[in-house]
Amino acid sequence: MNKKGIMSLVSAGLLASTLSVQSVQADTNKSENVSKKLIDQHMDKPLQKKNLNPRVLNDLKNDATHSLEKAPSLSSSQNSKQMNSSSSNDDPLFEKEPNNDFNKANSLPNEKTIIGQMLPMYDVDFYKVNVPAKGALLVAGTTNSPAIDLAFTAAEKDFKDNKNLIYQGSDYSDGVEVQVYQVNKPGTYYIGATDYEFDDDYDDNTVDDLYALSTAFVDNVAPDKPAVNRVGNNDKVVRGKAEASSTVTVKAGSKTLGSAKTSSKGTFSVNISVQKAGTTLTLTAKDSAGNVSPSVSTKVADVVAPNKPTVNKVDDNDKVVTGKAEASSTVTVKAGSKSLGSAKASSKGTYSVKIPAQKTGTTLTVTAKDAAGNVSSGATTKVVKH
């Protein structure tokens, strides 16, 4: 596949269509002009850096630049044997020809640099990189020679556009370009590189003219918001599910009540102090990369029954039962299973329940029910003779 073909294919990939080499060559000038325009539009999109740590960009640029500085010439047979291998983790890899198609792509691990040449004329190089999760794929490219006008792009295999790889923009400084892609599905993606010249068929590249490509993966995807079980006003633990191995934090307003790491299955248990019914708790999950999930809120449920009421003496002439119960609770008086009356306690907890006069010796049972429906244990009293 020659240079003119691959540049048009790159453009076609960005447009989510497929062009054959033959159709491109049938109208070379037109395809070259269209390719150049489309690729320029693609590369010139400015990168929004607010979601990327500047240190990551700088480290990637430095890796590519330093690898080129210490890279040997690839002209000797000895160096040719070293291609696509390195002696230590810090050493760059070297391209291994042929790698001019998706199926022949060299492997390029994340946080490694690969050194290549644009030889022979119209050379095209493909590399494949594994992206382990949703996040940002960063690709840096640079060259040690003005003879190479390096053009590169990341793509899905065969330039298919399944919306799994979304171009976010590029940043260029100090001779290094960094392209950023948002990856929506983990998997293998490809980087195509070529010498971006259309002026003539003269090739001034030599064996000492090299380019470098580096990749990095950044987890910039926040966890989903946690799922939280009901929390009662007698609970000292908040339980639920969140992203595995994330850290879940529970707050009441701006006050942090507790935090804990989720299990490998995503379950969590966060110890907190007992909270009043109606208190709003806010939970978030933070992953190991520091991405924080949207928050989820839950109100502390009233699950604690009121204390049993106190009851004043009731005689066989009384038509009102009085006493004290939980403030604003509903007090009910029964004789056996028969309800004699009910009334709401005041804000201070006093109550007065109207009943018909009862015979001496009748046992009255008095209960209090709060707004959440929790019912106290019953307080009993016997009707006395007046």
Same-domain check for residues 262 and 316: no
CATH number for the domain that contains residue 267: 2.60.40.10
Same-domain check for residues 35 and 95: yes
Same-domain check for residues 197 and 49: yes
Last residue of a domain, one of 172, 197, 218: 218
pLDDT of residue 217: 95
Kindly report the pTM of this predicted structure. 0.73
Could you tell me if 201 and 142 are in contact, meaning their C-beta atoms sit under 8 angstroms apart? no
**List of long-range contacts for 94-98, beta carbons under 8 Å, 24+ apart:** 95/125, 95/127
Whether 98 is covered by a domain: the verdict is yes
CATH number for the domain that contains residue 135: 2.60.120.380
pLDDT of residue 60: 86
Q: What is the dihedral of CA 52, 56, 61, 62, to 10 degrees?
A: 160
Whether 316 is covered by a domain: the verdict is yes
96: closest CA among 70, 66, 128? 128
Same-domain check for residues 204 and 129: yes
Same-domain check for residues 188 and 252: no
pLDDT of residue 196: 78
Task: Return d(Cα 101, Cα 375) in angstroms, integer.
Answer: 75
Same-domain check for residues 204 and 333: no
Whether 168 is covered by a domain: the verdict is yes
Last residue of a domain, one of 279, 299, 319: 299
pLDDT of residue 51: 61
Same-domain check for residues 26 and 109: yes
pLDDT of residue 21: 35
Side-chain half-sphere CA neighbours of 259 within 13 A: 13
Same-domain check for residues 374 and 266: no
Q: What would the two tokens of residue 311 be?
A: 């009851």
As for how many domains the chain has, the answer is: 3
Whether 304 is covered by a domain: the verdict is no
Task: Return d(Cα 294, Cα 227) in angstroms, integer.
Answer: 11
Whether 132 is covered by a domain: the verdict is yes
Q: What is the dihedral of CA 17, 23, 29, 30, to 10 degrees?
A: -40
Same-domain check for residues 171 and 275: no
Same-domain check for residues 130 and 254: no
Same-domain check for residues 142 and 183: yes
pLDDT tens digits in sequence order for the chain, 386 residues long: 444 444 444 444 433 333 333 333 433 343 344 344 445 545 566 676 656 778 888 888 888 888 888 766 554 433 444 445 555 567 889 999 999 999 999 999 998 999 999 988 888 999 999 999 999 999 999 999 999 999 999 999 988 889 999 999 999 999 999 999 999 999 999 999 988 765 566 678 888 999 999 999 999 999 999 999 999 999 999 999 999 999 999 999 999 999 999 999 999 999 999 999 999 999 999 999 999 999 999 999 999 999 999 999 999 999 999 999 999 999 999 999 999 999 999 999 999 999 999 999 999 999 999 999 999 999 999 999 98
Whether 305 is covered by a domain: the verdict is no
Same-domain check for residues 8 and 81: yes
pLDDT of residue 20: 33
pLDDT of residue 41: 47
pLDDT of residue 25: 42
Last residue of a domain, one of 299, 325, 350: 299
pLDDT of residue 49: 62
Whether 330 is covered by a domain: the verdict is yes
Whether 183 is covered by a domain: the verdict is yes
Domain containing 113 equals 3-218
Buried/exposed code over 153-182 (b: 16+ C-beta within 10 A; e: otherwise): bbbbbebeeeebbebbbbbbeeebbbbbbb
